[in-house]
Amino acid sequence: MFLVRLAQVCRKAYIIVDALSLMEQHEEAVLRLKQQVEDTSLSPADRINLLNDTLKRFLNMAAAPKDGGMLTRFKSLLYQSGILSHCVTLLTLDLQKLQSNCKAAVTLASLTSSCCVGVEPGELSETFHRLFLPSVMDGLLSLASRLARRAECVSLFRRVMDSVSWLLRAHAQLTTQVLSSSYYALIQGCDEVTMSLLFVQMWINLCTASSDFLSSLSDDAILLLLNEAVGQFAVTSDASLGGASVRLILHMANQLPLQPFLFNFKGLDSLLDKDWRGRGFDQEVDQLIALTQSREILPSVDRVRAACVIQAAWKSYLTRRRLKCLSGVVSMLQRRFRALRRQQQQQRDAQRLQEELNFQVCLQRQQARRKFHQKQRELLQLLPPDQVQPYLLECQVRAAVLIQSAWRGFLARRRIDSQRDSLRLEHAQQHAARTLQRAVRRFLQERQAAKVLASGPCWIGHKGLTDSRRAVLKRQVEEYISLHPSSAVSRQQCEQLHNDVQWRLQALLQQAVQQKREEQKIESLLAHTHTQLDRLKDAPSLSAVMATDIKSFLSPSGTIATRGRDAHNSRLQAHRLPWWRTLGETASVLNPKEEMELGGEVRS
């Protein structure tokens, strides 16, 4: 008996020693994995593949022994070493940075959620539940929202939802975070009904898999989940999604008293009866309608009596305060009304006085004008007949002088006001024009100098060749030709060919010189055109233009100026023609008598 117990003790000791050695190996492997993951030379895709392979191998090795404590200690070691934090960071990366390796990211999400279940954080329990687990859930939902945008990733999205469901089964307190997450709302906003159906099925599986899931939730979480299920009735018309939502609410009603929560959803029974009958689940719809209609709880007699007392007290208080302030309010309204009426009466009186004053002024001016004309007519009657016309001409001249003096004074004052700005603008334009002209002239001089150098002698030779050297080279060429005569071409033909080549070369050079001159002329015309355009852009308005400004815009070419002046005069003469002259381009020219008969004005 003693030997048997000794053998058992030895066996347990061996098991403990093996476990300790295995744990030490796991710690060393985890440290090596952490160093590899923190290596900055690895890309995010390589890190994900490394974590997937290593975590799979570690979890299989830790789950091999029959003792389940080894797997728990290994998961705790992964959390304490920070490897799970690296996994969460990689899950939040964009799929484009992962080189579209969606399957590897989904595998990492499954491993991360599996490692978060059954962890014993020890002293870091509060940090684990308040900070780490919400970050893991955000990473999973972020990955799910990116996969939901791709129609070909439905199976991968389902795997991510399985990971979320696995994590919610172990940590039900994350339900509120899931329902209020922006990623969850983004996924629900997709047009795909499959995504919403997967979420509803996930909540149904969580409610049916564990009876303690709903009881462990807070009232806010239950209300959010119920709001999510009821919201599907209003945003979708799919029968499968509506049936799943009805089943979810019924599962929740079987485990919890939902009457206080359903009190917030008024009109749900009419919505179900109107839009969701005849879809294949009428029995479940009837159950839900009966549940919603039984939510109205009649208030007790004491509550009604208390409400009546409170309302009566409040209404009597309001009535007393209104009666107390009524006399002051009435007097204030009367005072304001009388002041407004007095002000309106004063405005009407002032307007009437102003109209009477204007009428009197106009009447006095009309009477004075009539008296002046009457007196002028009497004076004209006293004058001899031969002096009436000169007198009228003198009056016209005097009136014209007066009008001209007033107009010239107005122009002078306006010119003096705008003279400073116009002078400054003119000075700036002249300075810019001089600068441009100086630059163009310098450019043209450089081109002309280069052209003169290029159009030198037409013969081809070495630069700096002297006459003596040229004679020596010519003698050597003649000796070589005499010693090696050509059988195909004679000397006269060679000389003729040489002369022809020299003539063609000279013609080509002259053509190049002519082409350069034309280009120079075109460039100068373009520069002059651009200068004139800039000056036209900066020109003053017609109301402020002066005689000196007009001279600066005249063309230096006499032909152009003459043609412009003729076109302007012809345009003015066309404007002076009567209206019937402008009816057609081929209208005949009538005599002055015909013009007067048609209503036109004879002009000299």
**pLDDT one-digit tens code per residue, 517-551:** 999 989 888 888 888 788 777 777 777 777 777 66
216-240: per-residue pLDDT in tens? 777 777 777 777 777 777 777 777 7
Residue 560 lies in a domain: no
Of 190, 213, 244, the domain-final residue? 190
Look-up of token digits 């390796």: 101
Query: CA of 357: how far to CAs of 337, 344, 361, 545, 576, in Å?
Result: 30, 20, 6, 42, 44
Q: And the tokens for 213?
A: 């899931």
Give the C-alpha separation, 116 to 137, whole Å.
10
Q: 222 and 101, same structural domain? A: no
Would 384 be classed as within a structural domain?
no
Q: Are 415 and 286 found together in one domain? A: no
DSSP of 127-165: HIIIIIHHHHHHHHHHHHHHHHT-GGGHHHHHHHHHHHH
pLDDT digits (tens, 9 = 90+) for 464-492: 678 888 888 888 988 888 887 666 667 78
Which has more confidence, 139 or 369?
369
Supply the pLDDT for residue 604: 37
pLDDT of residue 587: 43
| Residue appearing with tokens 């940075």 | 97
Domain assignment present for residue 501? The answer is yes
Tell me what the pLDDT averaged over the chain comes to: 76
Q: What is the mean pLDDT of residues 187-204?
A: 74
User: Would you state the torsion angle of the CA atoms of residues 528, 534, 540, 546, taken in this order, to the nearest 10 degrees?
Assistant: -10
Q: Would you say residue 507 has pLDDT above 80?
A: yes
Query: Is residue 331 assigned to a domain?
Result: yes
Q: How confident is the model at residue 592, as a pLDDT?
A: 47
pLDDT of the residue at 261: 66
Rounded mean pLDDT of 145-170?
A: 77
The pLDDT tens digits for 254-275 are 777 766 667 667 777 777 777 7
| Same domain, residue pair 104 and 85 | yes
C-alpha 518/C-alpha 524 separation (Å) is 10
> Are 336 and 431 members of one domain?
no
Is the domain of 404 the same as that of 548?
A: yes
In this prediction, residue 67 carries a pLDDT of 52
> Do 218 and 117 share a structural domain?
no
Note whether 241 and 198 are within 8 A (CB): no
- Residue 96's domain spans which residues? 11-190
50/181 same-domain check = yes
Domain identity same for 265 and 209: yes
Nearest-angstrom CA–CA distance, 233 and 248: 12
* Whether residue 248 is found in the same domain as residue 269: yes
* Rg of the chain on CA atoms, in Å: 53
Are 115 and 148 part of one and the same domain? Answer: yes
Domain-embedded: residue 126: yes
Average pLDDT over residues 134-145: 80
Structure tokens at 20: 């300790």
Residue 478 lies in a domain: no
Instruction: Confirm if 113 and 166 have CB atoms less than 8 A apart.
Output: yes
5 occurs within a structural domain: no
Q: Give the number of other CB atoms < 10 A from CB of residue 303.
A: 10
The reported pLDDT for the residue numbered 340 is 93
Q: Which token pair is 188? A: 């629900």
pTM of structure: 0.43
Q: Of 378, 403, 420, which closes a domain? A: 378
Cα–chain-centroid distance for residue 312? 58
Whether residue 145 sits in one domain with residue 91:
yes
In tens, the pLDDT along 424-449 reads 888 888 889 999 999 999 999 888 88
Residue 464 lies in a domain: no
Quick check: helix, strand or coil at residue 462? coil
Q: Please give the tally of structural domains in the chain.
A: 5
Q: What is the mean pLDDT of residues 285-298?
A: 67
pLDDT mean over 115-144: 78
For residue 42, count CB atoms less than 10 angstroms from its CB and return exposed for 0-12, middle for 13-18, buried for 19 or more: middle
Distance CA 459, CA 506 (A): 9
The answer, yes or no, to whether residue 555 has pLDDT greater than 90, is no
- Out of 108-112, 320-324, 587-591, which region has the weakest mean confidence (pLDDT)? 587-591
Locus of tokens 């599962």: 251
Let me know whether 20 and 32 are in one domain.
Answer: yes
Domain boundary among 337, 352, 378: 378
Dihedral sign, CA of 494, 495, 496, 501?
A: positive
Contact at 8 Å (CB) between 140 and 113?
Answer: yes
pLDDT, tens digit (0-9, with 9 covering 90-100), for 9-60: 445 444 443 444 555 666 677 777 777 767 667 777 777 777 777 777 777 7
Of 263, 217, 271, 219, which is closest to residue 245 (Cα–Cα)? 271
Inter-residue contact 286 to 273 (CB < 8 Å): no
Q: Report the pLDDT value the prediction gives residue 18, as an integer from 0 to 100.
A: 45
* Burial per residue of 69-93, b for 16 or more beta-carbon CB atoms within 10 angstroms, e otherwise: ebbebbbbbbbbbebbebbbebbeb
pLDDT digits (tens, 9 = 90+) for 17-30: 344 455 566 667 77
Q: Is the pLDDT of residue 407 over 80?
A: yes
Q: What confidence tier does 588 reach under pLDDT thresholds 50, 70, 90?
A: very low
